[in-house]
Chain A
């Protein structure tokens, strides 16, 4: 599907579809849920045109299972959902982490808990993205703040999934998913696309979970003749369950290490006006847009404010936050929940700076004026 270079008006959900196609997605399984449905609709139309497959499954759980099956059969696979569906997918996301199956899960966050306010924005799934499935699993979650970045991070989600053989979550929120912006997308051929590494060994001696130099095992597809076994049970390098605690220990530590040790680091954040900032606003996703406007306005008023925007919710950009905390007099953490990112900021900053939450859960977005007001209040007290 050729992208033209002209600027076009796209929603975040539509940009996600375009990014997935540019990254080479060939399979989508999903279940209708607001506010993510446009992603399913877009791929239902687009995938057959590129020889891919779209299926609307009987439920969210089945969708996640089908995505894992398709990925094991060798194609790039994804699903898209929102809060309630994200909850239902969690067990199988854990399977993908344990069995090292690359896949992308889009969660367009909406107001919860439970059915909540289906068409209203929230950022309440940040911790669910991290800890939603049971056990000590690693996870990657990306949080775009614009339509163009949704395109870019969808591509990156697939690239990281393929490189590291891991599920990657794209955490949109209802605002980013539904807002429309004029964007210019890169032509497909200029998009950097990563594909999983295939094994070169003889199938007879192949060890399907023997890690390569980057701690990631090369991955054959079903039907390639490797006769390999895939299980959610703790397994050794042969892929078979052993029941031995030390094998489980080695496996789970490697699952974490392959993400933690990756160079360049998976964790990253955008730093804006941070060099001399005394008050740092830490905000992600749609809230970062208001935060940027507030920081700009604060600067106009002579307050040395800056923005630190986590691009990866997970791994959390610890180094960036720690460094900013060391230099800042205060950090303000606005988010559309009762305090999820702020817990990480508090943990990482280790008491180096004053931390001020700013939370909103009335289904409205946080405005630049609110953040500016908080910046001004804090500025009045730090000097």
Chain B
């Protein structure tokens, strides 16, 4: 898992491809791959709201950096 601040990363080993992050991202940052796992295709739209991290059942998404949300 990369840890560059401010860059959304998906831990592919943990991601089970449920699609929650893709469906509910308010900024439509993710796109589904063929296997259903998310790819960050629109990073500039990210508002760092943090909902993808909070709703990921597999702890597989990281916004990167320390601050998000509030």
On whether A and B touch (CB less than 8 Å), the answer reads no
B-to-A contact residues, CB < 8 Å: none
